[in-house]
Copies of this chain bind each other. A is one copy, B any other.
C-alpha cells in the first residue's frame, strides 16, 4: 500500500532520533529550562532575524492555537478567522472551550482578504450595539492554508496593516510553515513573517519532528506569566528537552528548510504527473497538499492500493481527494502513485 493521506505518517527525521540518543543520559532541568531548549530558542530567533523574540515550545497545533488565542485575547474578545480556518472547523471547539468566539470572514481557497477583513472590522465598530457583541481582538490565518494555498507578501502585509489599524495582533498558524516557505511560489521569508506578524508558530509535527510547535512572539508581546497559563492548559511538558532537542536539530544546518524543500519537490513531481495525465485540480496548490477531482470509480479503484484523504463531495459522481507529501516521502512512492494514476 502506498500512503499519501497526510504529512505525519512517519516518525521523525533521523538526525532528531540520533540527538535523542546522544543526549539521553544528560540530566536536564524540566519545563523548558534545559540547554537544548535554550539553544533551539537562540537558533530560531536567529533564523527569524528577530533577536528580541520570545520562543516557547508546545506539543501540537490545536494546543498551540488554543493557548496563543486564549491567552492573548481579553475576555470580551474573539478571534477572526477565515470560514475554513482550522480553528473554526477542525479543533473540536478548542477555542470556544477557552471561552472565546471564532468570528469569521469569507474564505477564498482558504485565504481571507484584507478588504473583507477591513469591512468586517469597520462593520463591528460602526454598529451602535457593538458593546453587545464579541469584540474582534485578533486575526488568525494559516500559512499555508488548510487548502495548501499561500498568502503573498503583499497580501499578508495588507492584512497586517488592517490589524494594526484596529490595534489587534495578527497570528499566523504555521503548522506547515516549512512547506509554505519552500514553495516555489512563496515570496515570503521567515524573517519577513516574523516582521509582519505579531505571533506565529513554526510547525514541527508535520515537518520532521515527533511532535512540537515553536511559538514565536515577535513584538515583546508575550502574555504575562505565559508559562503558568501553559501549565493551566495542561500543555507544559515535564521533559521539555524532548521539544528542545527536536527544534535545535531542525534549526541546525537549515534542516527544517531542507526537509521542507524535499516535500515540495515531491509535490511538484506529483502535480506535474497529474497534470500530464489530465486530472482536474480542485484548486492550484503550490505546497505539499494537492487537491484533485476524481470520479467515484477512480477513487474506488485507487483505494485498493493507495491511502489518501477524501474531501468535499462535488456531486454524485465526483469528489475532491487530497494527496499530501512530506519530509519523508520517497520519490519511488510518488512514481508508483503516478503509475497507478496513468490512465
Binding site for B on A (CB under 8 A): 3, 5-6, 8-12, 14, 17, 20-21, 23-30, 59-67, 70-71, 74-76, 78, 89-94, 96-97, 99-102, 128-129, 131-135, 205-206, 210-211, 224-225, 227-229, 231-239, 241-242, 310, 328
Contact = CB atoms under 8 A, between A and B. Distances in A.
Given A10-B28, A78-B93, A131-B231, 12 more contacts: A10-B27, A11-B20, A12-B20, A59-B211, A62-B236, A74-B224, A91-B132, A92-B231, A94-B232, A131-B228, A132-B228, A210-B239
A93 to B, nearest CB: 4
Contacts of A135: 225, 228
A74 B225 contact: yes
Contact of A60 (B26, B70, B96, B236): B236
A96 B96 contact: yes
A71 to B, nearest CB: 7
B27 A3 contact: yes
A81 to B, nearest CB: 13
Contacts of A224: 74, 76
Nearest to A90: B132
B17 A20 contact: yes
16 contacts: A9-B29, A11-B20, A14-B21, A20-B210, A60-B235, A62-B236, A76-B224, A76-B232, A93-B100, A94-B231, A94-B234, A131-B225, A132-B228, A133-B228, A135-B225, A205-B238
